Structure 1
Amino acid sequence: MNGKISLPAHPPLFDLDLNRTTRPSAQCGAFYWDGDTCVQIGQNRFNMEKALSNLNPTLVPSLKHHLISFTAQCDYAPASYGNLISAFRKALLTYPTSSFDSCWIAKALTVPTFHRIKNRILCFFLHWLERDNVMIDQSALSLLNGSAAHLSAPRNVLSDDPNKSWLTNEEYDDLLSVVWNNYDSGKSSTQVTLIKLLSMQYARRPVQIANLKIGDIQENDGSDKMSPIGKVILFPGSKDKGAEIGFRDSKFEPHSMADHLWNLCHLQYLEARALYEETLGLSLTDDQLKKLPLFCSEFRVRQSRQLIEGQNRLSLLRNLDSELFHLRRESVSKILTWENNFPTCEYGEAKIKYSLQQPPTSPRTGRTMVVTATRMRHTRARQLARQGVPLHMLSHWLGHTSEQTLVAYYNDPAEQARQLDETMAPALAPFAMAFTGTLIDSADQATRANDQTSKLEFARAGLLKTVGHCGKFSFCATTSVPIPCYRCRYFEPLVDAPHQEVLDALEQRQTAEQQAFKIGGLRNILIPIDLSADIRAVKSCIGRCNARNARNARNAASEK
């Protein structure tokens, strides 16, 4: 984005603010009843008609009233209240009951979604009991309180399941290529493409991507000491202890942006601006636009306007920063899992209907790759750990307050085996026979001396230099000739060829690959390439050439 739409630097996190420790303002009215449907404004509608149908008629009005009063306390995030209502509904549908007794509680605890948040449900029952002491008996509450916690499933980060664990380098590269190809060919919109790329680059949770505002894309001139200098994206945090109640109430996580993402954000800004001004019928200033989401849809804008101006009777311009304008977390999740290729910023009659696209085929399974936000997070963390990023830095980069949750990424037997191999390589090199070709003193000695296609050349400083010949008569499928040729037994290197230049180029490339990871790299987010085998082969070849030259020199001296 250009300077005209960049926000001022984000305020330092340690500014003195006497009100910073007060409880965030409550989001009153986030839930209400529409008949037997519990509505989470701008998010979900929970049809409870069938779930409530078997309850004692005297319990239903009390349940409805106290469920709303419980959500109004704002002790949890709105999404957490939504999960509670959903779990309650599931348990009532699975085990219909007329009253909440210990028998029903025992059955309800067999429902995983109910059992998983049993402590939250217990808090609701206690809230209800304080205001209506006939709704549940003490034995039922004791059973709920004394039951064992829900056992967590095995962590996918430790799994070797090719559909759950992190993506391999090959899978990651294939996925990245398909994302860009879909965008370049017009099969996916700017919005969908940018959401996927932000997930692949920064491994942020869907809710963090959904909560991004246009003003979170900034250019820091150095005045903000808490952010990197240059192009920056500020992700609103999530899951912070003590800051998981209000919308965007958590700390912000600043990250540098590469030019390709910055430019894509600028295109997204232009499309989003056109959508907002057309749908709202307003000409918005830059400051007003900064309050609006980076990602949105025509339906979401129209729905939010109706809720703000119609139901809540509030000023639209004073509520442009409302959570209502933002895409739901579930919408972002479905984009990241490739279930949806929408919503987009198109509007009106010109709205484009993008067909559903598929991720690439996984070479590990032979089936369509399974992609989720969680897998992407695990993959990115593993990549950074393998780059040698220290644990405390990775913890900060991923927005974790504890390093313990990331230890698994460093428990990497495959990487440890690679490092062991790298350490042992010098000792084992004489037995590895890295170079097995046949040295030749001139092109006339080559097996295919008369075949010009056998000549192998190395490009350096704009010039092609012959390093040897290929003694194989069949087509070679290598794509980076002549580097792999040094490990081929059919390679016939010239003794006086510039093999040292080949080695210098290889070592320079390897050094670049092993440098500390730079966040926001090139468009093709690089994964390290191991060139150690090629380097050993070229060194072996140079050693053989030097020995041959020394022997030739001795022979020439003795003849004199």
Structure 2
Amino acid sequence: MIKSHSGVDTQQVFRSRDGWEFNKNDLAWRLNKNTTVYLGWVDDLTVDIKSSFLTTLQFYSVHSSAAHARNISERAKYFFKFTGGELNTISLLAYRANLDDSKQHYLGGLKGFFVTWYEQGHPGISEEFFKTLKAWVLKGNEVGRAVLQMDSLKGPLTDIEMQGVLDGVIACYSKSRLLLEQFSLILTLVHTGRRSVQIVALKIKDLLLTEKNGISAYSINFPRAKQRHALWRSTFNTCAIDEDLWLILQLQAVDTVKRLQGLVNFSLSNSLIKEVPLFADFVNLSHGISEKNLLELLQFDYLHAPVKICNTALTRFSEIHCVFSERTGAPLSLSPRRFRSTLGTNVARQGYGVSIVAEVLDHSNVRSAGYYIKSLSDIVARIDKAVAQQLAPLAQAFQGVLVASEKEAVRGGDSSSRVSNGRVNVGTCGNYGFCGALAPIACYTCTHFQPWVDGPHEEVLNELLAGSDRVWGVTKDVKTALANDRLILAVTEVVQRCAQAKRATCDG
């Protein structure tokens, strides 16, 4: 049973901008799939202030985004907690004096709300309060710090870290340790840099395939986010993707449709399938639902997965596979925001201007995109042998198992399992299935690779470093020259481990 407030007006039921009905008298307003505003705290306010606050917040809940309405409620909660429920000029001045510069945006978020409250004629705010607040110019929320500082915990990932994530995600999915949905979500975050709320808003019809002159082009028609006054899925921006991601998302679409078909008593039409969420939540779907009612539900976000599944997928990956940072030596802390800032940084690093960065990240203005341009001076240069020796133990890019000799390896008795550098053998492959990867280059970051202690791994390392130098000499392109950095660290780690094993043998 939902609890309600007392002492509010009789018009109770409203519809949020995202189509969810909420009762103004309830202590919790569900405004969309992902956002609930909890209002039990307002019962501590006076009757007039509580009524005016709820009426103004109801206006915001109907006409603004659910996230904005929730943020206002949270900011107001702490405002009234500080002022003891008072709403006058003295309490306003005291609250502002209590905020340091980094927290002025707390009041900035409330400024528009209090102005609306006053201008709509609701009791509780005096003219003096209104004029004082209206005259203030308040600092906005500080953004871009993690990007500007290349924060190793919250900021953009390096190429080595990103490659480690991709290698790990693919390995975990191939071993059935990640679900298809989790695999699809993480790859979409990595390759598109879109916000979680945009990804879970996708429908199957948003996966686009076009052909021109016999050439296929793949893209995703992403619903835009953070668009002022825009309804859910009312504005879109297309993002080009490669065929690999498109095919994976097609598998995800097929899986979602299969799940839905098993829950209804009629055949899903092609037109209905187009409206089905790509990432769905059918937990509360009635098994006896009619086709008409299902179509109505599909017009809103009721059957779309909640935003939290993106973080859940990353948490699951981090639990089953550690990717170590070459900057800290610690396991990476992953979040959707880090993949977004990584994409922005990489676009800026390739020489594109602020407008292109804004376009790639689907920003409505270039203010936030400017931080990626400013961060360029902090980006690490190419790795040489000396640097590789320092970073290799931290990155832990080598994923296999070092063996003393071929006979100790899994499949050691099978001559076809030998891995060669084109001249001599360097180790054994423990995979019994087919592998089309380029040996030995791809092997050093593979979990099946078993390098031999006496293998010529330093020769492989020198060839990789020389290749990187050649690419740099020809292209002068840092991104291209950095392509094998994680592999260089993996081979360097093997060289170091082999040296340690040989020393241990001599000492023993």
Q: What is the aligned counterpart of 2:304 among 322, 326, 341? A: 326
**Deviation at 1:403?**
4.9
Whole-Å separation in 1 of the counterparts to 2:421 and 2:304:
58
Instruction: State the match for 1:296 in structure 2.
Output: 280
**Deviation at 1:204?**
1.2
**Deviation at 1:151?**
5.2
Instruction: State the match for 1:254 in structure 2.
Output: 239
Aligned 1:60-139 pairs, distance under 5 A: 60-72=50-62, 74=63, 76-92=64-80, 94-95=81-82, 97-106=84-93, 108-109=95-96, 110=98, 115-116=104-105, 118-139=107-128
Aligned 1:299-310 pairs, distance under 5 A: 299=283, 301=285
Instruction: State the match for 2:255 in structure 1.
Output: 271
1:413 aligns with 2:402: no
Structure 1 residues 106, 477: closer, same or farther in 2, change over 3 A?
farther
- SS of 2:212's partner is coil
Q: What is the aligned counterpart of 1:165 among 123, 144, 155? A: 155
Whole-Å separation in 1 of the counterparts to 2:199 and 2:208:
16
**Deviation at 1:404?**
5.5
Whole-Å separation in 2 of the counterparts to 1:237 and 1:456:
48
* Structure 2, gaps ≥5 residues long: 1-15, 385-419, 425-451, 489-508
Q: What is the aligned counterpart of 2:328 among 365, 378, 388? A: 365
Measured against aligned partners, the alpha-carbon deviations of 1:200-226 in whole angstroms (never above 9, x if no partner) come to 111111122121111111210239xxx
Structure 1 residues 129, 291: closer, same or farther in 2, change over 3 A?
same
1:234 alignment partner AA = N
**Deviation at 1:67?**
2.3
* Structure 1, gaps ≥5 residues long: 1-24, 342-354, 422-454, 460-473, 488-501, 518-525, 534-560
Measured against aligned partners, the alpha-carbon deviations of 1:325-373 in whole angstroms (never above 9, x if no partner) come to 22333443x236x3467xxxxxxxxxxxxx9546423232232211122
Structure 1, 211-220 or 394-403: larger mean CA deviation: 394-403
Q: What is the aligned counterpart of 1:335 among 306, 309, 312? A: 312
**Deviation at 1:171?**
1.4
Structure 1, 110-119 or 151-160: larger mean CA deviation: 110-119
- SS of 2:36's partner is strand
Q: TM-score, normalised by structure 1?
A: 0.61
Instruction: State the match for 1:217 in structure 2.
Output: 207
**Deviation at 1:170?**
1.9
1:237 aligns with 2:228: no
How many residues are aligned here?
405
Instruction: State the match for 2:407 in structure 1.
Output: none
Measured against aligned partners, the alpha-carbon deviations of 1:93-126 in whole angstroms (never above 9, x if no partner) come to x436344223433455557999526455333333
Structure 1 residues 339, 144: closer, same or farther in 2, change over 3 A?
farther
Structure 1 residues 257, 403: closer, same or farther in 2, change over 3 A?
same
- SS of 1:95's partner is helix
1:373 alignment partner AA = P
Instruction: State the match for 2:35 in structure 1.
Output: 44
Whole-Å separation in 1 of the counterparts to 2:454 and 2:131:
74
Whole-Å separation in 1 of the counterparts to 2:304 and 2:65:
16
**Deviation at 1:296?**
1.6
Instruction: State the match for 2:338 in structure 1.
Output: 375
**Deviation at 1:295?**
0.7
- SS of 1:255's partner is strand
**Deviation at 1:258?**
2.6
- SS of 1:316's partner is helix
Tell me if the contact between 1:194 and 1:265 (Cα under 8 Å) persists in the aligned partners.
Answer: yes
Q: TM-score, normalised by structure 2?
A: 0.66
- SS of 2:87's partner is coil
What RMSD, in angstroms, separates the aligned Cα atoms of the two structures? 4.4
Tell me if the contact between 1:70 and 1:127 (Cα under 8 Å) persists in the aligned partners.
Answer: no
Structure 1 residues 290, 101: closer, same or farther in 2, change over 3 A?
same
Structure 1 residues 366, 98: closer, same or farther in 2, change over 3 A?
same
Whole-Å separation in 2 of the counterparts to 1:285 and 1:513:
53
**Deviation at 1:31?**
4.1
Measured against aligned partners, the alpha-carbon deviations of 1:262-289 in whole angstroms (never above 9, x if no partner) come to 2211221122112222334442112211
1:335 alignment partner AA = T
Tell me if the contact between 1:383 and 1:527 (Cα under 8 Å) persists in the aligned partners.
Answer: no
Instruction: State the match for 2:146 in structure 1.
Output: 156
Instruction: State the match for 1:59 in structure 2.
Output: 49
